[in-house]
Amino acid sequence: MNVIIIGCGRVGSTLAHQLRAERHHVCVLDRDAATRKLLSAGYTGDFLVGNGYNRDLLEQAGIGDADAVVAVTSGDNTNIVAARIAKEDYRVPRVVARIYDPRRADIYRELGIPTVASVRWTAGRIHQMLAHRYLDPDVTFGNGEVLLVRETLPVWLAGRPLRELEVDEQIRVVAVTRCGHAFLPAAHSLAAADDTVSFAVAMAALPRLRSFLDRELGT
């Protein structure tokens, strides 16, 4: 996975080390060259100096081939501009942005950009979101402990009870959209090919939900 991290503070630098340890390609951008010291001498990824919304710098960082962009600077405006450029101009598949002002979360949500809160979220949670990049949350609840995730079911699940996809206190089937019409599933409802299912999922249960779907997604 090719990841660009915009912002080399505590979260950005920690995430960079985690991803490099897993042998992902990482490029960190920060306008302050001094933040390079937060990356240990053993960091083997790239580091570039400049604004994270500068297109020339982003292209130098390889945004054209990026699988993910994470905007975790200390400024909401910088993060939202960088995230929008990554998502709308370069069509990066996975974009995550940090926010300080929770009132701005609706702005990001309308743009389809998952957000993480500045204090209560950690690099580890962002890492989970990147690792499960095929499960894009539509909405987060609380401080991100619960996500609303929408996914099209793989064909091999057709005919099976939807309740088989549920796990107590971890995964709930909230709604199903079939042939353009949505409904709330009953206890006996069966899955159909190409159903789009909305799941309420505990963050810690994302790997389990992904395991239901991996066979078709091929991840």
122, pLDDT greater than 60: no
Three-class SS state of 49: strand
DSSP per residue, 77-111: HHHHHHHHIIIIIS--SEEEEEES-GGGHHHHHHT
Instruction: Give the Cα-Cα-Cα angle 185, 187, 190 (nearest 5 degrees).
Output: 65
* pLDDT value for 219: 42
* pLDDT value for 216: 44
Topology of domain 2-133, CATH: Rossmann fold (3.40.50)
Q: Is the Cβ–Cβ distance between 118 and 143 less than 8 Å?
A: no
111, pLDDT greater than 90: no
* pLDDT value for 218: 43
> What whole-number distance in Å separates Cα of residue 135 and Cα of residue 126?
13
Let me know if the fold of 2-133 is the same as that of 148-217: no
Q: Is the Cβ–Cβ distance between 68 and 96 less than 8 Å?
A: yes
Element (H, E) at 152: strand 146-152
* pLDDT value for 46: 95
* pLDDT value for 185: 93
Topology of domain 148-217, CATH: Alpha-Beta Plaits (3.30.70)
Q: pLDDT, tens digit, for every residue of 80-95?
A: 899 999 999 999 988 8
Helices (H) and strands (E) in the chain, counts: 6, 11
> What whole-number distance in Å separates Cα of residue 6 and Cα of residue 17?
14
**Which is higher by pLDDT, 214 or 159?**
159
Kindly report the average pLDDT of the chain as a whole number: 84
* pLDDT value for 35: 95
Q: pLDDT, tens digit, for every residue of 13-65?
A: 989 998 998 899 999 999 999 999 999 888 999 999 999 999 999 999 999 99
Domain residue ranges of the chain, discontinuous segments joined by +? 2-133, 148-217
Q: pLDDT, tens digit, for every residue of 123-159?
A: 656 666 665 555 555 566 776 678 888 888 878 888 9
